Structure 1
Amino acid sequence: SFTDAAEYDFEQILALGPDVILANHSGITETDYERLSEIAPTVGFAESMWASDREELTLTIGSILDKEEEAQVLLDEADAAIAAAAEAHPEFQDVVFT
């Protein structure tokens, strides 16, 4: 189950038997990372907690799952959808989404 309290039920995670733990858009501590890494290979955040952008997240997860091409297709489709929406709604030209 999900919680934003930064507390993990390591026994429950262990019982799930994960092949990999993706925590690359998280706020895990070094201690949590070490414990999770004992359960399964764990991918933590690259530089800053909660700061990975959608491209970095998608490409990293695509690489881990050996689905790099599919990840890039998803990004390209999202970019195309955003461009189409921008063209259809010029009133949002100066609005920035981060």
Structure 2
Amino acid sequence: MINNEEVVLKAFLRVCSLLNIDNDTQVKITSTTEENGDPRLIFLKIFKLVYLIGNDDAFVKHWFVTENNAFGEAPIEMCKSSDGLISVLDYLNKMTRRR
């Protein structure tokens, strides 16, 4: 029987594979504190929101690795800290509400 932990892990690893996220970055994302929830789930929400905006694998990949004026760095770099994950999620929530 598959449990929620396995589902989250498989989804996280699948997204990381799609985005070509290296192991070091994966560790940094998953090592952030869980005060705001499971960092893997937050990252998956971020991925989902970016995909809703761009609806294209190439767009999503580009968005994660390209410096964003709102952050002053690439979103993937922001995702390496708890505060960064939440900042990116908040930014995307605001962006998708405007649509």
Give the structure, 1 or 2, with the largest relative contact order (CA under 8 Å, sep 6 or more): 2
TM-score by structure 2 length? Answer: 0.28
Q: Which has the higher helix share?
A: 2
Larger gyration radius, structure 1 or structure 2: 1
Q: Which has the higher strand share?
A: 1
